[in-house]
Amino acid sequence: MNPRLRVVALVLARGGSKGVPGKNIALVGGKPLIAWTIEAALASTRICRLILSTDDDEIAELARAHGCEVPFRRPPELARDESTGFDVCVHALRWIEGHEGRRPDFLLVLQPTSPLRTTADIDAVIDLATETRAPAVVSVSEASQHPYNVRRLDAAGALHDFLPVTDKPERRQDFPPAYALNGALFLATPEAVLDQSTFEPPGTLAYVMPRERALDIDTPLDLQLADLLLRRS
């Protein structure tokens, strides 16, 4: 790891969650959900700065209490239901560049909804990018449903393969491995984000995480499951 490499980690935490209201500050495993991500990031020796992007005062106060910087407030137009995480990252990078006069080497995006992600995962993603000189690394896990088994319905309700499939193996054990983005880690150069408008530029590498650390909280049931798992860890 290059000790002069500047990796800025950005925690995304909007206040107006619809699926699970208040999820970013909900108690999970005895701590606010956002605390698990902040603590894992602060324990990393690869990150030079940890920043929160939020529109919410309570989230900002909790983040500061756990050691995360909150140097700016997310604009209202980036805190709506239709706002994208990508646009929030662009705003943060523009703010950093405007206030520091330079871009970091990498931006690492951390969502509080992945509380089982570890410091070792964070370090591994950064190391993979620096050792291979990849422009981006994203975390993936083995897909819970293989694409061969995914179907679509036509207007009459009949089933069809979602994707064209030829030479499909008869046994599930013989299916080729399939992976899905799990949302836990997105690492990219500012050039990819700002100049190419993507977190997956050509040459992006995958960091494979086990599914037991890749839980993405999207429903009240996910929140209950995370609470159970973290209390047992």
d(CA 187, CA 106): 7
Residue 94 in any domain: the answer is yes
Among the residues of the chain, which ranges form H helices?
A: 33-42, 57-65, 85-100, 119-132, 190, 220-232
For 42-100, write each residue's pLDDT tens digit: 999 999 999 999 999 999 999 999 999 999 999 999 988 888 999 999 999 999 999 99
Judged against a pLDDT cut of 90, whether residue 16 lies above it is answered with no
| Conformational region of residue 51, where left means phi above 0, alpha means psi within -120 to 50, and beta covers everything else | beta
Judged against a pLDDT cut of 60, whether residue 3 lies above it is answered with no
Q: How many distinct structural domains can be found in the chain?
A: 1
Percentage of residues in the chain having pLDDT higher than 90:
84
Range of the domain at 16: 7-142+180-232
Residue 70 in any domain: the answer is yes
The pTM score is 0.92
d(CA 137, CA 99): 26
Residue 185 in any domain: the answer is yes
Residues 110-117 have a mean pLDDT of 98
Whole-number pLDDT of residue 165? 80
Whole-number pLDDT of residue 67? 97
pLDDT band at 4 (very low <50, low <70, confident <90, very high): low
d(CA 193, CA 90): 7
Residue 162 in any domain: the answer is no
Residue 61 in any domain: the answer is yes
CATH number, domain containing residue 203: 3.90.550.10
Judged against a pLDDT cut of 80, whether residue 223 lies above it is answered with yes
Residues 162-182 have a mean pLDDT of 89
Whole-number pLDDT of residue 168? 85
Residue 93 in any domain: the answer is yes
Residue 172 in any domain: the answer is no
Q: Mean pLDDT of all residues in the chain?
A: 94
Residue 105 in any domain: the answer is yes
